[in-house]
Structures are given as structure tokens and as C-alpha cells.
């Protein structure tokens, strides 16, 4: 897969999540790291010291990984401009990694940003798997916002850019 101009897609969401992770680290609530996707530069703009064409060296697994109060977590952040989220935005190797991560006692989830509505959503892996398995059985290759569980919409009032620990807390409570 080549990368030319797609590098800025989702960068606003990524910046908000990165700033939230900094806030969580400062308050000693969580330690989460962004996992860089390894690339091989093919073409460089020498005047501006920028990569203009590159290839991904390997498939990335998740965007973020770390620990929250001793609980291993991994997640991927996805942006969607409509009320329908295409499952093609998620890759089977990501789902496989997240399933294996949870089998090892961790918690895997997706952070969704519905940009047209300016809404953040915490999507537990188990909920994504319902849509994923439906797709694999020949069903819809997307899910609609109205199919999502209302309780996992993330509130704005907590003082964090993307308060995903609120979703994680609810997710953990439902697992007990």
C-alpha cells in the first residue's frame, strides 16, 4: 500500500487522543503510547525535508497501547464523516491482534469520532465483533450509529479532549 497524501487523514482525532494521553499521564491515570507505523521512504522532497511517497513496511496492529491503573489496554482511533461506519476501515489483522490481546487479559477497543456530529464513541471489541461476524456471514459491511449502545457515547464535560477512560470504566463494570 502506498502513502502519498493520506497521511493527514484522522490527524485531528490523533492529535486529540495524543493530548488526552498526555493529560492522563500527567494525572497518573494511564500510560498510553502511540505506536508508529513503520514506513520505507521512496521519494523525498529535499527542499522541504518531507517524505512525499512511502510504503508501509508491515501491517500495523493498533494505534495505541499501554496500561490504565495496571490494566493492559490497546485501541485504535477511527474517524467517520457520516452516521454509517464502513467495516473496511478496520482490517482483519487488527481484529485478530485485539482478540489475542484480550485473551491475554487486556482490554481492546476502538475510539470512533463521528466528525459530522462532533461525537466520540467508545466501541468495545465485543461490540465490534458482532458487526464483524455479521459481515463475515454475508451481512452488512458497515454499521449505523443507531446500532451502537447509547451508554458508550463519551461525555464532553470531564475536562479531557477524548475522555475514553469513562468508556473503559463502563466496559470493565460490564465485564464483572
Alpha-carbon span 154 to 118, nearest angstrom: 11
136-141, Cβ contacts within 8 angstroms, sequence gap of 24 or more:
141/86, 141/87, 141/88
Q: Is residue 63 a known part of a binding site?
A: yes
Does 171 belong to an annotated binding site? no
Residue 13 CA to residue 120 CA, distance in Å, equals: 10
From 147, 146, 154, 159, select the one nearest 171 (Cα to Cα). 154
- Annotation: binding site for Mg(2+): 61, 63, 76, 94
User: Can you say which residues are annotated as belonging to the binding site?
Assistant: 61, 63, 76, 94
Amino acid at each position: 500500500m502506498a502513502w502519498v497524501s493520506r497521511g493527514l487523514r484522522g490527524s485531528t482525532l490523533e492529535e486529540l487522543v495524543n493530548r488526552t494521553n498526555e493529560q492522563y499521564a500527567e494525572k497518573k491515570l494511564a500510560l498510553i503510547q502511540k505506536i508508529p507505523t513503520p514506513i520505507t521512504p521512496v521519494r523525498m522532497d529535499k527542499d522541504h525535508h518531507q517524505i512525499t511517497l512511502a510504503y508501509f513496511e508491515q501491517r500495523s496492529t493498533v494505534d495505541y497501547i499501554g496500561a490504565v491503573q495496571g490494566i493492559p489496554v490497546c485501541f485504535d482511533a477511527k474517524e467517520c464523516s457520516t452516521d454509517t461506519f464502513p467495516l473496511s476501515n478496520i482490517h482483519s489483522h487488527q481484529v485478530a491482534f485485539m482478540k489475542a490481546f484480550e485473551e491475554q487479559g487486556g482490554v481492546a477497543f476502538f475510539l470512533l469520532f463521528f466528525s459530522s456530529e462532533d461525537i466520540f464513541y467508545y466501541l468495545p471489541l465485543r461490540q465490534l465483533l458482532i458487526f464483524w461476524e455479521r459481515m463475515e456471514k454475508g451481512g452488512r459491511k458497515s454499521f449505523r450509529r443507531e446500532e451502537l449502545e447509547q451508554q458508550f457515547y463519551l461525555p464532553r464535560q470531564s475536562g479531557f479532549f477524548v475522555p475514553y477512560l469513562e468508556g473503559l470504566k463502563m466496559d470493565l463494570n460490564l465485564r464483572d
